[in-house]
Structure 1
Amino acid sequence: MTIARAAGRLISRSEIVERACSWLRDSVPYSQTKFHQNEHGIYRADCSGFVSMAWGLPGKPEDRHGGSDTPGLVVVSSLIAADELKAGDVIIRGEGGNETRHVVIFAAWAEEPGRYWAYEQAGGHRTRLRSVTYPYETGAESYAPRRYVSVLEP
């Protein structure tokens, strides 16, 4: 079992959502090799870069832009139960290769049972907010809800 450790400054849930919405506003195209720059910094335009930006994580190493990779997001988060999910938490698949790892930011439970709203940066799409079947559409058994260890709780 990996013990989570803080990697960035303390951040509120409302700031995480605000930061995620900045890429939704910018309609950022997905890329594992390109970067997006806005008022929150320069981050890789893939799913883990998106979450790194939303969580306010520094680049790895810190003098490099881009944020953390998906396994790195697991290291700075703690496993939680599905009924504990709050805006700014993630649902993540941290193992596997670049084609199988993925992470989305939880926004809220949807009215339709078994579904939730997620901010997502995924291949073939621009940043979007969409309804997703819990825990995720494909490879569901490999996804888990997690909470960033530096999130401020009220």
Structure 2
Amino acid sequence: MSTRTLIAALACTAAVQVPVAHAADDPGALIACGTTEADRTTSRTEALTRSQSWLDARVPYSQQACHENEHGSYRTDCSGYVSLAWGLTHSRTTTTLRDVATEVPRADLRPGDALVASHHAALFVRWADDAKLEPVVREQTGPDGEPPVERTWTAQTAGAYTPVRYYKVTEQ
């Protein structure tokens, strides 16, 4: 197995919900999927609508590909998926998503916020429980070819992620 194939197989593997290392020189970060001249102001409803478009189209996971639809062109990995939902100028990486977001208290997560770690990112949809421990997320997961999913994370899985809010999100 080549290093490139191994990286793609390990990246964004929340399907098994265990942390994996993202290579610092992630080859997917080099894929240029350009969309807009500036990061857009996006409402929470729009973020969910934009993310739903990839669920409906069953966009296959890849760090080497872009997917284009009415919302723009984005890399088809986990951070590209969050970039699509937020309407960013281009596909960010799991590390650089924090450059356009602010950390928020976990209990304050709202639809369209995200949960990020060095190895994965997912869009927050809602809480599955009243205790606000188990988030329902939408995520583009690997390995190669898997479509995005909406699922409930355990409290343990969610605890390994930092909750963040896009800096240009509106409450609409």
Sort the Cα spacing of 1:135 and 1:39 in 2 relative to 1 into closer, same or farther, 3 A: farther
Which residue type is aligned with residue 133 of structure 1?
T
Q: Give the match for residue 35 of structure 1.
A: 66
User: Which residue of the partner structure matches residue 157 of structure 2?
Assistant: 136
* Matches for 1:7-18 after TM superposition, within 5 Å: 8-18=39-49
Instruction: Report what 1:45 is aligned to.
Output: 76
* 1:24-75 per-position Cα deviation (integer Å, ceiling 9, x unaligned): 000011101011111111110000111111100012xxxxxxx211111011
What TM-score do you get using the length of structure 2 for normalisation?
0.71
Question: Unaligned stretches of 5+ in structure 2?
Answer: 1-37
- SS of equivalent to 1:136: helix
- 2:171 aligns with 153
Report % sequence identity. Answer: 39
Query: 1: distance between equivalents of 2:94 and 2:134?
Result: 23
Counterpart of 1:90 (choices 107, 114, 129) is 114
Residues in 2 aligned to 1:9 and 1:134: alpha-carbon distance in whole angstroms = 32
Tell me the residue number matched to 2:35.
none
**Structure 1 length as normaliser, TM-score?**
0.79
Question: For the structure 1 residues 104 and 135, does the alpha-carbon distance in structure 2 shift closer, same or farther, using more than 3 Å as the test?
Answer: farther
| More strand per residue | 1
Higher helix share: 2
SS of 1:9's equivalent? coil
Aligned length: 132
Task: Give the 3 Å change call, closer, same or farther, for CA 152–112 of structure 1 in structure 2.
Answer: closer
Runs of 4+ in 1 over 6 A off after TM superposition: none
Q: Does 1:119 align with 2:150?
A: no
Aligned Cα root-mean-square deviation (Å): 1.7
Aligned letter for 1:79?
E
Deviates more, 1:81-90 or 1:112-121: 112-121
Q: Which structure 1 residue ranges, 5 or more long, are not aligned?
A: 1-6, 60-66, 96-100
